[in-house]
Amino acid sequence: MTDITILSAALGGVIIGLAAGLLLLTHKRVAGVSGIASGLLLPWNAESSWRLWFVLGLIASAPLYRITVGEIVIKLDAPLAVLVVAGILVGYGSRLGGGCTSGHGVCGIARLSMRSIVATLMFMLTAGLTVYIQRHVL
Amino acid sequence: MIKNLVAGLLGLLFGFGLIIANMTNPSKVLAFLDVSGEWDPSLAIVMASALLTLAAIQRLMDLSPETQTSCDGVKQGIDRKLLIGSTIFGIGWGLSGICPGPALLGISSGLPASYVFLGAMFVGFVIFNRFHQR
């Protein structure tokens, strides 16, 4: 744990909050990535085009960062079979629960939504338990 | 068209935030979730600074919660779907260290694991649509 990590975490957070705030100002929409991404599935509606552009921007940020700033570290140890299960659970669960880390965890809590506060506590708790069981029990 | 372009730029900005905060690295996220290991509070710092920034913008621009709409905007109260969905999401997040934003950023990583996760996540979206919509 270094100071630089804390600084970059805080700076990254401010940028995420800024992007979410500007989306609210310009589109009156919450920057919930699970909702935006799943909105790309057919059939399309009036919301689909801005969602597509947001997702394309999100995807483009990684290569642009690599060109302008530098390497992005991605360390992923989980076996593929685990990632398949995890991906399905993340996709299904975030939709059933009405949001994920961005929609509930950032945007929902920022407007003090009780639903989002409960949802965030819930997925933090179960994610923590899952990691605990996987790393320290199994 | 302008609105789409703005949305694209904001997606780009959002992505830069995730990358700078290191949230695109699953092992960094798992280090936060593993409270009994060598705990890394980074994710909490990211979330806190993001939501405080957003809350400040909402206050400055006088954006009351009522003006906001989202996939979750019309729902009120805590129901079973919220609790069960968040539980399921948490298990998947804990297994992988990946949530939807970083999953999308994984497209350019070139790692097979990133594509597998992203594909599976969309399968999860489709399953939800099949059983809970229309």
At B60-76, the pLDDT tens digits run: 887 665 555 554 455 67
The pLDDT of residue B16: 97
C-alpha gyration radius of chain A: 17
The pLDDT of residue A57: 96
Other Cβ atoms less than 10 A from the Cβ of A106: the count is 31
Distance CA(A128)–CA(B4), nearest Å, equals: 37
Distance CA(A9)–CA(A13), nearest Å, equals: 6
Q: Give the mean pLDDT of B81-107.
A: 96
Compare all CA atoms of chain B with the CA of A31 and give the residue at the minimum distance: B70
Q: Measured between CB atoms, does B129 come within 8 Å of chain A? A: yes
Distance CA(A76)–CA(A88), nearest Å, equals: 17
Q: How confident is the model at residue A101 (pLDDT cuts 50, 70, 90)?
A: very high
Distance CA(A101)–CA(A80), nearest Å, equals: 23
Contacts of A21 in chain B (CB under 8 A): 53-54, 56-58, 61
Residue pLDDT, tens place only, B10-62: 999 999 999 999 999 999 999 999 998 789 999 999 999 999 999 999 888 87
Q: What is the pTM of this model?
A: 0.92
Q: How confident is the model at residue B109 (pLDDT cuts 50, 70, 90)?
A: confident
Q: Give the mean pLDDT of A92-103.
A: 95
Arithmetic mean of pLDDT over chain B: 89
Contacts of B113 in chain A (CB under 8 A): 76, 78, 80, 83
Contacts of B57 in chain A (CB under 8 A): 17-18, 21-22, 24-25
